[in-house]
Amino acid sequence: MDQKKYPRFMQLPAFRLATLAILIAVTALFTYMIRIPIAPTRGYINFGDVSIFFSALIFGPFTAFITGGTGTALADLISGYSQWAPFTFFAHGLQGLAIGLVVKAGRRRDREVPSELGFFTLLSAFLAGTILMAGIYFLTGGIMVGFAAASTEIPGNILQNVAGVLVGAPLAMAVRKAYPPIRFYRW
């Protein structure tokens, strides 16, 4: 499908804003609905990373930054973790940005099959996102509650990212296969 043949409404600011709003709401919902508490820091593990990976793979790095950061920060605000909201915004926003940038670079390198992601591209995106998100939470938690307590969250943050890539990547590939014009939705 030629980029000139896709519907024009996809580039309208109102369409972009509506898409961002929906992705932010989905991210907040995934973050808020299923929470597994971690006692030492009073934080929690969630499934918000699924929608962050999905957003980064489908819509690109900047959309993933906005939706990942805003959606997870909103979930913190409505669930009583407002002290974490600014740090969550940057942890998950930068996570989405890193994942999207690695995937974007991988797609440029693999021009023959732009809709498919190579294993190493996906692994690199996972590692970049995990290191950023877990690192920001470790530093923030270390300052807020102590580094010993903050270190107990690292395995949970890694597990959260594993769930994100294992569910978000196949979901993105399935949506891309079912609706090919979505590849033009990158902003």
Q: Residue 44 forms beta bridges with which residues?
A: 37
> Which residue is it, tokens 């580094």?
147
pTM, 2 dp = 0.88
**Distance, CA of 128 to CA of 122 (rounded, Å):** 10
**Domains by residue range for the chain, with CATH:** 8-182 (1.10.1760.20)
Q: Are 123 and 79 in contact (CB under 8 A)?
A: no
Residue 1 is predicted with a pLDDT of 45
**What is the mean pLDDT of each successive set of 10 residues along the chain, which is 187 residues long?**
60 86 97 80 82 95 97 94 94 97 83 65 95 96 92 91 94 91 76
